[in-house]
């Protein structure tokens, strides 16, 4: 069996920026075990698989260690593959996923991705997590699928050197750290740590912004925001709080590699 495989940098304005995702278009689903092995072999934060369905595509995402419910950057990468390599012509594409229907619209060089907004209830953090993040004192802490730690200065999260083994034992998908941006053209910055699902630090995380956008929109009193994830690779996201239930995240993408899997 031979399968096509693409490596695409999502949320990347230039090559070698953003978050690399592997994307594998399929005619029919492979076994869960085989898709997990392919993701482990790729060893990227996410490998996406999609199959044509009525009115769109079924889409699934795997880290090197597990299947996940939502992945923004690999969704954007899948849309880029369809438009740039598979001659997809419709103005938007619908993906049917474990998190429901996700829609991506092409707008010039940008892709607008609609994701369900996440609430951010306040939460007292575990003491272990405080130490794992280097003892930095957060102004506010919230919890949904991830912990969200809010700091007063960008420098605090830039210099953070987390203890990933401890974070991996926390009972959430991951930990988001965020602060106001020093660059006045950007509203907020963030980093995202998710060793529990096999990703110590994710370069740019669309799904984390489903929680970040509602928080910063409420705090800053504005619907349109510009965000930057300040990982080593980094990436820029244009964000919009559409309503209480939905956010829009826009990013660019670049194809890095096309290949073939031999099974």
Query: Do residues 110 and 29 share a domain?
Result: yes
- Contacting residues for 30 by C-beta, under 8 A, at least 6 apart: 38, 49
In a domain, 104, yes or no: yes
Q: What does pTM read for this prediction?
A: 0.89
**Does the residue 223 lie in any domain?**
yes
pLDDT, one tens digit per residue, over 26-75 is 999 999 999 999 999 999 999 999 999 999 999 999 999 999 999 999 99
Identify the pLDDT of residue 137: 83
For the segment 117-135, what is each residue's pLDDT rounded down to a tens digit? 999 999 888 888 889 998 8
Domain-embedded: residue 37: yes
Q: In total, how many domains does the chain have?
A: 2
Same domain, 139 and 196: yes
Residue 121 domain-assigned (yes or no): no
Any domain includes 172: yes
> Measured between alpha carbons, how far is 27 from 4 in angstroms, rounded to an integer?
11
- Where in the sequence numbering do the catalytic residues fall? 46
DSSP string across 140-154: EEEESSSEEEE-S-H
Q: What is the mean pLDDT of the chain?
A: 95
- 86-94: long-range contacts at Cβ-Cβ below 8 A with a sequence spacing of 24 or more? 86/25, 93/56, 93/57, 94/55, 94/56, 94/57
Largest CA distance in the chain: 53
pLDDT of residue 94: 97
Residue 110 sits in the same domain as residue 205: no
| pLDDT score of 136 more than 90 | no
Domain of residue 200, CATH code: 3.10.310.10
Residue 169 burial (CB count, 10 A): 12
pLDDT at 170 over 90: no
Write out the residue range of the structural domain in which residue 182 sits. 127-244
Q: Please check whether residue 122 lies inside any domain of the structure.
A: no
Q: d(Cα 253, Cα 94) in Å, to the nearest integer? A: 18
Q: What is the mean pLDDT of residues 170-181?
A: 94
């Amino acid at each position: 069996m031979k399968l096509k495989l693409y490596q695409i940098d999502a949320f990347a304005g230039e090559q070698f920026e953003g978050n690399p995702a592997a994307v594998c278009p399929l005619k029919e689903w492979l076994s869960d075990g085989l898709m997990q092995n392919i993701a482990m072999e790729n060893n990227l934060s996410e490998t996406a698989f999609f199959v044509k369905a009525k009115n769109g595509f079924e889409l699934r995402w795997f880290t090197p260690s597990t299947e996940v419910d939502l992945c923004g950057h690999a969704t954007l990468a899948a849309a880029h593959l369809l438009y740039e390599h598979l001659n997809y012509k419709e103005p938007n594409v619908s993906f049917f996923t474990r998190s429901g229907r996700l829609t991506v619209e092409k707008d010039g060089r940008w892709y607008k991705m609609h994701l369900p907004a996440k609430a951010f209830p306040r939460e007292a953090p575990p003491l272990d997590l405080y130490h794992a993040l280097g003892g930095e004192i957060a102004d506010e802490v919230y919890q949904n699928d991830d912990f969200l730690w809010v700091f007063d200065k960008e420098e605090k999260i830039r210099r953070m050197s987390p203890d990933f083994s401890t974070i991996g034992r926390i009972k959430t998908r991951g930990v988001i750290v965020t602060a106001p941006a020093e660059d006045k053209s950007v509203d907020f910055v963030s980093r995202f740590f998710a060793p529990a699902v096999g990703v110590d630090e994710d370069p740019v995380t669309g799904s984390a912004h489903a929680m970040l956008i509602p928080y910063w929109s409420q705090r800053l009193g504005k619907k349109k925001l510009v965000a930057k994830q300040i990982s080593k690779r980094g990436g820029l996201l244009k964000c919009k709080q559409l309503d209480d239930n939905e956010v829009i995240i826009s990013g660019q993408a670049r194809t890095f590699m096309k290949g073939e899997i031999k099974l």
